Amino acid sequence: MPSDLSIGEAAVALGVSADTLRRWDRAGRLRTVRDERNRRRVPVAEIERLSTRPRRAPAGDEVSARNRFTGTVVSVQVDGVMALVEIEAGPHRIVSAVTRDAVEELGLAPGVPATAMVKATSVMVRRDDGHAA
């Protein structure tokens, strides 16, 4: 086994992006070394150190979204090919415009548990049992 890994190899090993590792390096959260071509390398000891840290619980899907609002579907209004899905998540009410097909595929209806995932200006919806469209 090599004594250190490229940023890309380390990112795969840790389950994060290469950009995340570069940010950690700049912030001092990750110790890297430079090779003869001045490329960042991550010592295997750093991979092991970071692998033993507590991790966030898996989201249950491959969607990358930090802002998740878990709650219950309050209403579904279907009009043509689009629908508005309203989710009550604690003190928050999230309304998402999704396709009619997504509503049908996810089985969204009042009372169904769901999570609204906010990424940039989009809101994605999934059922809490992991069923995603």
Mean pLDDT, rounded, for 10-19: 84
Going by pLDDT thresholds of 50, 70 and 90, the confidence category of residue 3 is confident
Distance CA 88, CA 112 (A): 11
Annotated domain spans of the chain? 4-51, 67-127
pLDDT at position 110 over 50? yes
Question: Which of residues 35 and 131 earns the better pLDDT score?
Answer: 35
Judge whether residue 59 has pLDDT over 50: no
Name the region of 68 (left: φ>0; alpha: ψ -120 to 50; beta: rest).
beta
What does pLDDT average to over the chain? 83
**If one looks up domain 4-51 in CATH, what number appears?**
1.10.1660.10
pLDDT at 1: 52
Q: 67-127 in CATH: which number?
A: 2.40.50.100
pLDDT at 19: 87
DSSP output for 99-122: EHHHHHHHT--TT-EEEEEEETTE
